[in-house]
Structure 1
Amino acid sequence: MDSRRLHAFVKIVDIGSLTRAAAILHIAQPALSQQIVALETHFGKQLLVRSKRGVLPTEAGKTLYRHAQVVLRQLDQAKTDINNTGRTIAGQVNVGLAPLSTAATLALPLLKAVRERYPGIVLQINENIGGVISELIMTGKMDLAFIYDPGTIRGVKFEPILTEELFLVAPRPLLDPKKADRTEIATEDVGGLDLVLPTKIHTVRQLVDITFRRVGVDAMVIAEIESVPTIARAVWEGLGATILPWSAAHAIASGRDDVIVQRITAPSMHTKVSLCTSDQWPLSEPAQVVKDLLAEIAHAYAAEPQADGLTPMGRKERKRKVA
């Protein structure tokens, strides 16, 4: 199999046009068409079809596209690893981080650590919803991620690192003055507030909805927002409260007397954050050292005292003993 054919095929699918792909690849269109014919002959399947919207992959073409991306990426990494044999570790590593979580807080420490220890590694950091990130890892477009653990997903594996507790972040005028200075608030009382929450595909939102249903409370959601800065501005403007892990909650309330952070109780809300990697494709050497660094930084965060003087793991242990 000529890797150039796979590269040409991927480019055609990405662009959706034989003519434009030929121009970008600096190949005559008839020669490019012949490469596709050779691929179709090799696999015994039609891979592309022409339509009014351009060139589209068939079902067989979509399958080849997914595999071709992984193969080409591994070939590039193999070249890098071979060229760097005996040298310092170098290469590109794509890392996914879940927004609205500790993961996003660790982005800068990770970048600093990589620059200090492995300056030959170029990090690509992508903040996105966990479902999107896990799909990128399955298809080989991303090396690893630190995201909320949704449970078993075929094609990826999760290594639990820490458990995050969720907190209410609210503008002071939104709360009952008698309860505004408390450190905790019951889930039932949270249900009576105007809430700005992530969309329903987000793990945090799913946890909130499940907890509210257990208590028999309807969430008064006035807006669904994925952007932490936008959620923060909505809280600062007094439009509504939100529910976030401590790291994000603390960042929104830091330095502001008009924003209150309270632990949610009766029941409390906890979610796992895990390292996510492919269970089919081995990590490159640069990706492995970045994974080890990310785990090191995350474990260090898990050992830091939080709002109640306990570490995330210590709080989990206290909860277990009380139970």
Structure 2
Amino acid sequence: MDLRQIHYFVAACEEGSLSAAAVRLNCTASGVSQQMTALEARLGASLFKRTRRGVTPTPVGRRFYDRCLVVLKAVSEAEIELEDFAAGLSGSVSAGFAPGLAKSILPQALARFTREFPRVDVEIASGPADSLVSGTASAALNFYVGQYREAQIGLSAIPIGQFPVALISGSRRGFVPMKPIRLDKVAPLKLSVPSATHSLRPKIEAAIRNGEIAVDRTISIASLSAGLEFLSQTDWSSILPYWIGLKELSNERLTVNPIADSTLRVEVALIHPTRQPLSRPAQVLYDYFEQELRRSEAEWARVMDDCVKS
């Protein structure tokens, strides 16, 4: 058995198709098929259940897949160590971030990273969660930080935390800035809700159904920047992660209010390919990001505390 067969097998498991695995590996489907047949013959076991729609690992295949991940991870870690030893912190890193995190948290972390490590090339992506998760699964991105709704074979999801949310409204709505609000005690809201892939969406919809949030009308705007601009020109509101509210505190056209007695929380995770641990540059960038996230969380708590005291 050679390492190429392991790569082919893992790709076929994760893609669910020999042809899709071939596209990912930039080789031919017949070549992947031949290697898988040879691998099964060598092991004396059927690794895949083949159907017209593709392939799925058998119980034996799934167990072998888990073992292969250990092998690929060990090889990747060895390569990373050798690269770091030979060249110091250099190379490249590509990462995806949910739009709110990219707007509010990432810039400070990225400024520090690029200042301290000028030999590392950086590529940052932001956009819909499905697109960023897909990019991470294909290894186009080293990692993704954001909402993650469903487990996916080939990806590891490490929870970062559950974070508070805030009500952000156009100033025409008339709320007192930073005064805690109970959503079940205010007049019906004209509410802009997050996109369907955002982890807050189902929680907000459940709260509306249960009468915990009274709404007059709803709208969904996929673009964060467009949504905030819409709020600033109207009396509409939106329930968004605290880091967006913290960033907009100085915006006179928007009003930010903590939500009192709320179970609404936004869940964030670090997503990366299971077969490939974070490279040293990727790990450092993520560490700087998480440090900035924790700093902003403490700043939000301080601002809320100051408002209560005043």
CA, structure 1 residues 103+149, in 2 after alignment: closer, same or farther (shift >3 Å)?
Answer: farther
Task: Kindly provide the amino acid, as one letter, of the partner of residue 231 in structure 1.
Answer: G
Trace 1:227-246 onto structure 2 (pairs within 5 A). Answer: 227-236=223-232, 238=234, 240-246=236-242
TM-score normalised to the size of structure 2?
0.67
Partners of 1:191 and 1:59 lie apart in 2 by: 54
- Structure 2 unaligned spans of 5+: none
- 2:194 counterpart of 1:198: yes
Q: How much does 1:263 deviate? A: 0.8
Q: How much does 1:234 deviate? A: 3.5
- The match for 2:280 is 285
- The match for 2:2 is 2
- The alignment partner of 2:99 has SS state of coil
Partners of 1:22 and 1:205 lie apart in 2 by: 32
CA, structure 1 residues 206+316, in 2 after alignment: closer, same or farther (shift >3 Å)?
Answer: farther
Q: Deviations over 1:39-91 (max 9, x none)?
A: 2224511437363x6xx222339847787678556634532431331431234
Trace 1:146-225 onto structure 2 (pairs within 5 A). Answer: 146-147=145-146, 156-160=157-161, 163-170=163-170, 172=172, 175=173, 179=174, 183-184=178-179, 185-188=181-184, 192-199=188-195, 202-209=198-205, 216-225=212-221
CA, structure 1 residues 313+239, in 2 after alignment: closer, same or farther (shift >3 Å)?
Answer: closer
Partners of 2:170 and 2:24 lie apart in 1 by: 55
CA, structure 1 residues 228+84, in 2 after alignment: closer, same or farther (shift >3 Å)?
Answer: same
- 2:58 counterpart of 1:60: yes
- Structure 1 unaligned spans of 5+: 304-310
- 2:19 counterpart of 1:17: yes
Partners of 1:135 and 1:75 lie apart in 2 by: 23
- The alignment partner of 1:194 has SS state of strand
- The alignment partner of 1:84 has SS state of helix
Q: Deviations over 1:232-279 (max 9, x none)?
A: 344355484322234424666865x5x33141555457636666478x
- The alignment partner of 1:89 has SS state of coil
Task: Kindly provide the amino acid, as one letter, of the partner of residue 296 in structure 2.
Answer: Y
Partners of 2:10 and 2:24 lie apart in 1 by: 12
- The match for 2:117 is 118
Let me know the Cα RMSD of the aligned residues: 5.0
- 2:34 counterpart of 1:38: no
Trace 1:244-263 onto structure 2 (pairs within 5 A). Answer: 244-249=240-245, 259-263=253-257
Provide the aligned length of Structure 1 versus Structure 2.
298
